[in-house]
Chains A and B, each alone.
Chain A
């Protein structure tokens, strides 16, 4: 079907299709960001190939978490901040497009990216570490990856909601990245003592790593894992509310 005369209100299906197509193209064209999403996790998997650091589930979980942080938290917040500053949103907002559709398309494309990061890292990881997962385990691990993507996206949304300048978001995003990784990973190894370990388990990265290990040994699923699942949903709700409530489309 070819519409050549503009309707009084564009059909929402066509609007969403157009936005998703454009956002996907933008994502695929951002080579550097794409490479970063995959390179760190794969480096982790390769370098730990022969080591004795932790179990395989933990390592693969950590690698996926790295990839999710880089794509969902850093990638998302930086592109939103940059587009807001450059006036890309301004141009989109003078079209008859509901603002929720502009955001939904970006978030949707990011969630699919999280899934792809999960699949690639899982496949590479299980080859590098000679591990076999059942299809059920694959699905559960990917579900945790998408959940993790959603957690980091909502943190990214809160970041662009509370901070206006793209330069500041870039800097804060990187610090957050390192902090989240350090607390989550150092904590869960127990190097810094049990108290710290207990606290770390409730941070976004700590909770995700517990979930990644948890879905690989469902027989020992317990209060820690259930708590981790709940806390992830809690993070999504709280940060998404902050991020949407304070989000401004204009740069100033």
Chain B
């Protein structure tokens, strides 16, 4: 299949995914995927349910070994330099859990230690307050509301100020205030030179925050480029025109390229 690649990454790369293959038994979840992210870039990985986004992230995060291809972070191979790569990643998993017996303050202390930071109680409190969780410091993770849980996961992901953040559907379940705040944080992290790889099902969000997006389906790349470029490029595509109602949007491009059937 021909892939629309309107712009390639320029400048120093922080993440490179090359011909990545990942299988679950007989099923191929990621099928020869390649893309790269440069420093300071916000990159969106878009695709229908089951497209292989979380699987791609879990190979980058070192949770799975690739069945083919390779991933490098800041030039280092994720398999060969697993621990030093992990030290550079800030990770928010789509579904993750924390020890239910610990309060979020104790969890914050644990995770800062695991990233090599020896934070004092006052500093931990500051970080929690910064995430709007000052009142919840003594609660276990499970007793937080869904959005508070998201904010806590994000706080843990950024506790060591990583050069690259991997966020799997970070805004799902957030209220508009928290979503705006997250976007602001993402913006702030970019200004400090950090890169972000995020997945989202909101095309509006992708358009608003991402410098470039990759649309994937069945583990394969369908399109890659800046949101506006993708819209401009596919304005005349009959698959896109067929689903568009008025002005062509990124969502039209997404549905046009990945089909309108619901994925199992």
A residues with a Cβ closer than 8 A to B are 1-11, 14-15, 17-19, 21-22, 25-26, 29-30, 83, 86-88, 90-98, 250
Q: Is the CB of A4 within 8 A of B117?
A: yes
Q: Which of B35-43, B105-113, B245-253 contacts A (4 or more CB under 8 A)?
A: B105-113
Ordered by A's residue number, 28 sampled pairs between the chains whose C-beta atoms are within 8 Å are A2-B118, A2-B123, A5-B161, A6-B116, A7-B87, A7-B116, A10-B113, A10-B116, A14-B118, A18-B109, A19-B110, A21-B109, A21-B110, A25-B101, A25-B102, A29-B102, A86-B100, A87-B96, A87-B97, A88-B97, A90-B63, A90-B97, A92-B114, A93-B62, A94-B86, A95-B86, A95-B111, A96-B87
Report if B119 contacts A (CB, 8 A). Answer: yes
**Nearest CB of B to A55, in Å:** 40
**Nearest CB of A to B107, in Å:** 8
B residues with a Cβ closer than 8 A to A are 61-63, 83-84, 86-87, 89, 91, 93, 95-102, 106-107, 109-120, 123, 160-162
User: Which residues in B have their C-beta under 8 angstroms from that of A94?
Assistant: 61-63, 86, 89, 91, 93
**Nearest CB of A to B54, in Å:** 11
Interface centre among A21, A90, A98 (most CB of B within 10 A): A90
User: Which residues in A have their C-beta under 8 angstroms from that of B89?
Assistant: 94
Q: How far apart sit A98 and B81, CA to CA, in the bound complex (Å)?
A: 12
Q: How far apart sit A149 and B91, CA to CA, in the bound complex (Å)?
A: 36
Q: How far apart sit A41 and B144, CA to CA, in the bound complex (Å)?
A: 38
The 10 closest A-B pairs by CB, nearest first: A18-B113, A10-B116, A6-B160, A96-B87, A29-B101, A96-B86, A87-B97, A95-B114, A86-B97, A94-B91
User: Which residues in A have their C-beta under 8 angstroms from that of B100?
Assistant: 86
Q: How far apart sit A15 and B257, CA to CA, in the bound complex (Å)?
A: 46
Q: Is the CB of B113 within 8 A of A15?
A: yes
Q: How far apart sit A87 and B98, CA to CA, in the bound complex (Å)?
A: 8
Q: Is the CB of A8 within 8 A of B118?
A: no
User: Which residues in B have their C-beta under 8 angstroms from that of A86?
Assistant: 97, 100
Interface centre among B63, B91, B100, B116 (most CB of A within 10 A): B116
Query: At the interface, is chain B mostly helix, strand, loop or mixed?
Result: loop
**Nearest CB of B to A228, in Å:** 36
The closest CB in chain B to the CB of A82 belongs to B100
Q: Is the CB of A25 within 8 A of B116?
A: no
**Nearest CB of B to A1, in Å:** 6
Q: Is the CB of A22 within 8 A of B102?
A: yes
**Nearest CB of A to B212, in Å:** 24
Q: Is the CB of B116 within 8 A of A26?
A: no
Q: How far apart sit A83 and B96, CA to CA, in the bound complex (Å)?
A: 11
User: Which residues in A have their C-beta under 8 angstroms from that of B93?
Assistant: 87, 90-91, 94
User: Which residues in A have their C-beta under 8 angstroms from that of B161?
Assistant: 5-6
User: Which residues in A have their C-beta under 8 angstroms from that of B160?
Assistant: 6
Q: How far apart sit A91 and B120, CA to CA, in the bound complex (Å)?
A: 23
Q: Is the CB of A90 within 8 A of B99?
A: no
State which of B83, B110, B116, B162 has its C-beta within 8 Å of the C-beta of A11. B116
Q: Is the CB of A95 within 8 A of B115?
A: yes
Q: Is the CB of B84 within 8 A of A97?
A: no
Q: Is the CB of A15 within 8 A of B114?
A: yes
State which of A4, A9, A29, A83 has its C-beta within 8 Å of the C-beta of B84. A9
